[in-house]
Amino acid sequence: MVRVRFAPSPTGHLHIGGARTALFNYLFAKRHKGVFILRIEDTDELRSTGESVRSIFESMKWLGLEWDEGAMPDNAGKGHFGPYVQSEREAAGIYKRYAEELLKDGKAYRCYCTPEELEERRAAALLEKRQQKYDGRCRVLTDAQRRDFEARGRKPVVRFRMPDAGATCWEDLIHKSVKFENNLLYDFVMIKASGYPTYNFACVIDDHLMEISHIIRGDDHVSNTPLQLHLYEALGWKAPELAHLSMILGSDGTRLSKRHGATSVGEYRAQGYLPGTMRNYLALLGWSNPESQQIFEEGELESKFDLAGCQKSPAIFDPAKLDWMNGEYIRRQSKEKLLELALPFIKGAGLAVEHAPVPLIDLVALEQEKYKLLRDIPARIEFFFNAVIYEPAAVEKTFRTSEAKKILEGIKAVYAALDLFKETEIEAATRSFAKANAFKAGQVFHPVRVAVSGRTDGPTLFRMIEYLGREEVLRRLTHAATLAEG
């Protein structure tokens, strides 16, 4: 059975690269009717936080990446291979057991070098232009030397004994043949002086015990892979299949970071992107399909994703394409769903939704074709709730004409006399007024739009006027006429 995992370190919010990795694992599991597991790798004692764990859960849920097995917000865990949090696994003695086994077999050793000594040697190697790696001096300590170090209060780490010759090779499902010369590798730390396991050690133990079949992760882990493969071999285990995803770069060709804009899933959610948009867009970062399809219907990615479509070269994150795609997703929503999605943004902007002149669902749907972000919506409907704030450029363009005052006062009289204040009747009366006074339609439409909304652009003019209501429209026309020339 296909069993894959997403194993974030909770040292911050779920970022775009991590979300893409989670998505690809999720899609791979769905495509192959496998199991998608969420494991929390919190062995960085200094930087891991409960807040980050909660943020990861929330972002995964929002993206719709439901995991079949793994860590859960209620701390119970779901599945038969738990615990799914590494600190809990450490407390259960899982890593210690395998470390002791490797020590006993002479495949690992205790190292008493201090951080200061290691830094001195690293600096010396740098000056002498030698390779900066651990020199293995603690591989052959005598019992007397160990006792002396411990008497001085030194707490050892446990290092894995790497081979000095040969090469480590594997067939990556994306990068194909990969090879590392063993003499360039180093005796990595398995267990820190605190007793906590390191990433390279813990993930191997966990992946084996959780029966992971495929490891799909970012290609920043390629250099870790030979270390981990030797660990699998030393323990007599078969390594999972490996697939390393391409890096994500900003539009300037550098690694994606805050200087390119938002980097965490939570930030995109707060800006008004839809979860479907994010899934769709992230899927196209480093993956393509034979049809070059860009927009996917719900459930379609799960049936079409495969690792064969993943590229080796870095993916470019394009905010403009993301905005375009989000607009496409917004246009696909029903009026009811769009209102549900927009409501938190509308209330967050302080708009008194209970005072909407017509049902809020109709106001939100007015400009559905124009929205790119959910956070755009409050500003587009604000004039229905609050006093008009005139855009200076709009006033200059439409009110600073010789006929502006005449038009606004004349159309006010027309609207006041209408028997039925509905879109069709309002439009017909406005056009008749323009024709009777020898105005082009635009000469009337533009100042009326600015008078009632404060902007030169906006929703369908006559529906907007109907929704505002006769009394409010007449009041705004009266005020606008005082600003107009003529």
Catalytic residues: 258
DSSP helix/strand/coil, 179:
strand
State the helix-helix crossing angle for 470-483 and 461-468, rounded to 10 degrees. Answer: 110
Whether the CB-CB separation of 240 and 207 falls below 8 Å is answered with: yes
Write the single-letter amino acid at 203.
Answer: C
Closest C-alpha among 270, 284, 360, 350 to residue 322: 284
Q: Are 275 and 283 in contact (CB under 8 A)?
A: no
**110's tokens:** 């205790």
Rounded distance between C-alpha atoms, residue 197 and residue 203, angstroms: 9
How many other C-beta atoms lie within 10 A of the C-beta of residue 10? 24
Burial class (CB in 10 A: 0-12, 13-18, 19+), 78: middle
Give CA–CA dist 108/112, Å, rounded.
13
DSSP string, 109-127: EEE---HHHHHHHHHHHHH
Angle CA 195–201–207, to nearest 5: 125
Q: In 3D, which of 458, 465, 451, 463 has the Cα closest to residue 409?
A: 451
Q: What is the largest CA-CA distance in the chain?
A: 109
Q: Look-up: residue for tokens 């990861």? A: 56
The H or E element spanning position 410 is: helix 404-417
Beta carbons within 8 Å of 27's beta carbon, 6+ residues apart: 283, 301, 302, 305
